[in-house]
Amino acid sequence: MNLNNRSTKNRLKAVDFFCGGGGMSYGMQKAGINVLAGIDYEENCKDTYEANIGIGKFIQADVFDLKETVLQKTLGLQKNDDNLLLIGCSPCQFWSIINTDKKKSEKSKNLLVEFERFVKYFNPGYVVVENVPGVLRKKKESGLESFINWLEISGYKVHFEVHNTNDYGVPQNRKRFTLVANRIGETKIFPKKEDNKLVVKDVLGQQNGFNVIVAGTKDETEFQHSSPRISNLTLKRIQKVKKNGGNRLDFANDPDLQLTCFVGRDNSFKDTFGRLWWDRPSPTITTKFFSVSNGRFVHPDEDRALSLREGACLQSFPKDYKFIGTSHCAIARLIGNAVPPEYAKKIGQAIIKNHLNGII
């Protein structure tokens, strides 16, 4: 059977729970999976999601209130559909190792349990879960342990592991827990690693279409090469940081520039005010990647924080991906919270390969 005939048998369709700005959905589409809809509680995801994934594909809903039968009717879904993929990339602040307000994020700790409710109802051919590594360390408390047990008892082949997305075509060190379960075929599914790992210079810099800018630049075009303003004091600190990988220790001995909170604490939070290295992957792009005081987010050469588009490219979004938001902070949040599309694409490709082998 030739490849063209094989591709016509790929009728996989996906529903992306907690879809955010569409990173996972976009990657799955690029792999060749038909994304039926993305579901998210946050209304401010809608414009970005539909601008890139498709008009009318965003469903604003709180998963705690959404009923299985309502989703079934809305999207015309069937139970026990071998071609159906359910994806759950729930917000993960509660299980993150980063210091967050656990009270504010407490509701998020049960999102995996709510997603499991839909998996049990529809019994799809495939299931994907992506989250912070903390859900694995706390697999009993997070509901992951019981979910995996149910999947295995129900006949699914389950692969779960903490992956570094840099192994899968993303120029960023970003460790994520990923589960891929299937009841089509006899083997476990996992994405294929790339032989060559991307680094910052592969996607940023003038050679990649990024003009030199200064802090405070506001790019009104859809390219959004915008970097927020910084104070004169912050600028002086950054100017002291060595190009290509320096950090705040480069100004620690200057009493006019040293931060009081770091006096006598040279080994604490050394990435603060740090520059990226050209020849290494970036650190994890968080929702605060536009702030020089929130991590190693200073440009390798220029005296400013990363721009919105630079953060998006380090997340493996294409340069024409449209981000729509009411503020710089809101757009950065969409970018930082996203599943890197290239990583999602690799997962989708692995699922398609399994599916074609399982039905031929």
Q: Which residues are catalytic?
A: 92
What's the rounded Cα separation, in Å, for the pair 204 and 210? Answer: 7
Q: Are 148 and 161 in contact (CB under 8 A)?
A: no
Longest dimension (CA), the chain: 72
> How is the beta sheet containing 34-40 ordered, strand by strand?
58-60, 34-40, 13-17, 84-88, 126-131, 175-182, 157-164
What's the rounded Cα separation, in Å, for the pair 162 and 136? Answer: 8
Q: Which residue has the tokens 């970018």?
A: 335
Which of 360, 170, 188 is CA-nearest to residue 281? 170
Q: Are 21 and 360 in contact (CB under 8 A)?
A: no
H helical segments located in 125-216? 134-137, 144-153
User: What are the residues whose beta carbons fall under 8 Å from the beta carbon of 55, sequence distance 6 or more?
Assistant: none
Q: Contacts for 224-229 with beta carbons within 8 Å, 24 or more apart?
A: 224/307, 224/308, 224/309, 224/312, 224/323, 224/331, 225/307, 225/308, 225/309, 225/310, 226/307, 226/308, 226/309, 226/328, 227/290, 227/304, 227/305, 227/306, 227/307, 227/308, 228/290, 228/291, 228/305, 228/328
CB atoms within 10 A of CB 195: 6
| 3-state class (DSSP) for residue 272 | coil
CA 219 from chain centre, in angstroms, equals 24
